[in-house]
Amino acid sequence: MIRPEGPQDAPAIATLITEAFLTAAHADGNEAEIVARLRAEGGLLLSLVSEGPNGIQGHIAASPCSVGGQTGWACIAPLAVDPAQQRSGIGTALIGAALAQLSRLSVGGVVIVGDPVYYGRFGFAADPAIFAPDIPPDYVLTRRCASTAAGALRFHAAFGLD
């Protein structure tokens, strides 16, 4: 079952994110902290959990970002699945649910910083017109909706990338 996070879920979400990113190839170790900061600062466009019989198995967050100064875009990050339950479709289901919800919010487009092979299957691709200083261009992936914006990406301050 995929549902929005509730007030009681914050500790379990933090634990899940920390464990998922422990073995991830590209991790800063501050992913749980970013979600806590987004939550505290009203920066969560969505925060969805996948819940199974033994509790929360996966989590996905999205926050506002801008492209070339145009607001109204969303950044999906982080995405985390319990290491013991990876490769069973939970991440795919969470991305599908997040994209459906963001589409209802009429975002200009969606950004993910991540593996082009994994996210390519969801319609994300590197776009030379959209870039983020200090992030390798191959990993800056976008999926446009209505917006034709171009330029530098600006993420929520919770990511500490300014």
Ligand X SMILES: CC(C)(COP(=O)(O)OP(=O)(O)OC[C@H]1O[C@@H](n2cnc3c(N)ncnc32)[C@H](O)[C@@H]1OP(=O)(O)O)[C@@H](O)C(=O)NCCC(=O)NCCS
Q: Which residues bind ligand X (CB under 6 A)?
A: 20-21, 24, 78-81, 86-92, 114-115, 117-118
Comparing CB distances to ligand X, the nearer of 89 and 146 is 89
Comparing CB distances to ligand X, the nearer of 87 and 104 is 87
Alpha carbon 88 to chain centroid, angstroms: 19
In terms of DSSP H, where are the helices of the chain? 10-22, 31-40, 90-104, 116-120
Q: In the bound complex, what is the minimum distance in angstroms from residue 80's beta carbon to ligand X? A: 4
Which residue's CB atom is positioned nearest to ligand X?
A: 91
The answer for 8, left when phi > 0, alpha when psi is -120 to 50, beta otherwise, is alpha
Comparing CB distances to ligand X, the nearer of 29 and 151 is 29
Q: In the bound complex, what is the minimum distance in angstroms from residue 55's beta carbon to ligand X? A: 16
Q: In the bound complex, what is the minimum distance in angstroms from residue 106's beta carbon to ligand X? A: 24
Q: What phi and psi values does residue 24 have, to the nearest 5 degrees?
A: -75, 150
Cα of first residue to Cα of last residue in the chain, in angstroms, is 36
